[in-house]
């Protein structure tokens, strides 16, 4: 069996047609018909009357979303601590400061109760409300967006939904990324669909999209010469990348169905393995795309070889449990890629000084210590899942 990766890109076959057209028309540049077409396809897929701006990465989209909320030097922005660094770094790009909030135990995403606690405390301490809120749908699992919007609305703070991992995930039948002031998507090589590298900013209306396009194209003013009033960025998607995206739209629904089926298969297979739990939709209104299938491993589960592991060097802020690392190594030896859950930002040395709001037993810290992401992409079939489960079984005592 070939090495099994977490989530590899998978082409529909239609991508070449759009790329070839870009070459034939010599439209090998940022902007162009493929970009317009891809934005339209995404807009139709997402619904909710939102506009879509295709950009060079999900990180760029987070950055633009913050710019669109008016975040600037001296501001604070509340972000989910349990995330990939790209949700939080753009806050620093804007000269603002992140305030990190822990997750709730059922969605693993921003805890609405802690969010309100953080807002109140920041207002008490700094005299002003945070400028934006960035919840993240980690591994595709929706956050409690209704409760987050309720808290945000109470204090008049805009929400930038980091739904980079959640293309197709829904809350109460509506696509993630269409609830907040802005939404973010990523089309990195390992996401639900890819443009090789790219992202999108979901905007509330055409005027806002136009304004954000201005910032994404170096903030060029409408003169025949280069004139700049604002600070801009080169964040536009290329017409060639967007051609890949248009082709990928043909397989998006298949990919989502596939990821969901693989998660259900893991859940079925792990049912009789005590101490291992698959992260599943916690309630009927939450419908994950299951970008990655994720398990947590009870600290009491004994994995062969865990006692022989040398401690990690140079990783301040903590490491996964030894049984998780032993399982990761066993899978790796068997040709299977797996990955510990994302290390929370409040444990990262770079963000050590950021204000952090968590409960007595921080959820994200426990998840980081006990969790493992398993392969779930379009190239992972039933045989691969069976093989992975077999390797896991063989390595448990």
Ligand X SMILES: Cc1ncc(COP(=O)(O)O)c(C=O)c1O
Contact flag: residue 107 with ligand X (CB under 6 A): no
Q: With contact defined as beta carbons under 8 Å apart, do 341 and 297 qualify?
A: no
**Exposed e or buried b per residue across 132-150, where buried means at least 16 C-beta atoms within 10 angstroms of its C-beta:** bbbbbbbbbbbbbbebbbe
Residue 169 or 395: the one with the smaller Cβ distance to ligand X is 169
Residue 62 or 297: the one with the smaller Cβ distance to ligand X is 62
Q: Which residue sits closest to ligand X, CB atoms considered?
A: 58
Contact flag: residue 57 with ligand X (CB under 6 A): yes
Residue entry with tokens 């995206």: 245
C-alpha distances out from residue 277 to 138, 164, 305, 361, Å: 17, 24, 21, 19
Contact flag: residue 165 with ligand X (CB under 6 A): yes
- Angle value at C-alpha 315, between 87 and 330, nearest 5 degrees: 95
Contact flag: residue 58 with ligand X (CB under 6 A): yes
Residue entry with tokens 């603002």: 96
Residue 7 or 301: the one with the smaller Cβ distance to ligand X is 7
Distance CA 4, CA 379 (A): 8
- Number of CB atoms found within 10 A of residue 126's CB: 15
Residue 61 or 276: the one with the smaller Cβ distance to ligand X is 61
**Shortest CB 58 distance to ligand X, Å:** 2
Torsions phi, psi for 328 (to 5 deg) = -60, -45
Residue 79, token pair as written in the block: 């972000």
**Shortest CB 139 distance to ligand X, Å:** 9
Query: What part of residues 204-223 is at the interface with ligand X (CB under 6 A)?
Result: none
Contact flag: residue 199 with ligand X (CB under 6 A): yes
Contact flag: residue 39 with ligand X (CB under 6 A): no
- The site map against ligand X for 77-106 (x = CB under 6 A) is ------xx-xx-------------------
Residue 164 or 213: the one with the smaller Cβ distance to ligand X is 164
Binding region for ligand X (CB under 6 A): 57-59, 62, 83-84, 86-87, 136, 162, 164-165, 186, 188, 199
């Amino acid at each position: 069996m070939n090495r099994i990766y977490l989530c590899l890109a998978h082409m529909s076959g239609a991508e070449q047609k759009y790329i070839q057209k870009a070459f034939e028309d010599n439209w090998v540049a940022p902007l162009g018909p493929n970009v317009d077409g891809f934005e339209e396809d995404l807009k139709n897929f997402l619904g909710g009357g939102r506009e879509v701006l295709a950009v060079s990465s999900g990180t760029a989209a987070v950055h633009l979303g913050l710019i669109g909320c008016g975040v600037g030097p001296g501001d604070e922005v509340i972000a989910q601590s349990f995330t990939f660094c790209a949700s939080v770094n753009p806050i620093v790009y804007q000269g603002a400061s992140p305030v990190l909030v822990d997750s709730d135990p059922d969605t693993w995403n921003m805890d609405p109760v802690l969010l309100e606690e953080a807002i109140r405390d920041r207002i008490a301490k700094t005299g002003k409300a945070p400028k934006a809120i960035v919840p993240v749908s980690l591994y595709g699992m929706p956050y409690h967006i209704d409760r987050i919007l309720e808290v945000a609305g109470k204090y008049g703070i805009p929400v930038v939904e980091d739904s980079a991992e959640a293309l197709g995930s829904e809350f109460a039948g509506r696509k993630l990324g269409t609830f907040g002031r802005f939404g973010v998507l990523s089309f990195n090589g390992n996401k639900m669909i890819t443009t090789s590298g790219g992202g999108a900013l979901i905007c509330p209306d055409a005027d806002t999209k136009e304004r954000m396009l201005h910032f994404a194209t170096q903030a060029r003013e409408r003169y025949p010469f280069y004139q700049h009033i604002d600070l801009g960025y080169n964040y536009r998607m290329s017409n060639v990348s967007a051609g890949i995206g248009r082709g990928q739209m043909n397989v998006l629904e298949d990919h989502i169905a596939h990821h969901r089926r693989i998660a259900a298969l893991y859940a079925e297979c792990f049912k009789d393995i005590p101490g291992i739990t698959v992260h599943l939709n916690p309630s009927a209104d939450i419908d994950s795309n299951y970008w990655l299938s994720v398990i947590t491993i009870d600290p009491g589960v004994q994995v062969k070889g865990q006692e022989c592991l040398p401690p990690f060097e140079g990783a301040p802020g903590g490491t996964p449990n030894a049984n998780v690392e032993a399982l990761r190594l066993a899978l790796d030896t068997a040709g299977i890629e797996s990955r510990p859950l994302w290390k929370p930002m409040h444990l990262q040395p770079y963000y050590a000084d950021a204000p952090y709001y968590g409960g007595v037993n921080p959820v994200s810290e426990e998840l980081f210590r006990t969790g493992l992401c398993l392969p779930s992409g379009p190239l992972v079939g039933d045989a691969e899942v069976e093989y992975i489960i077999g390797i896991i079984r063989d390595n448990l005592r």
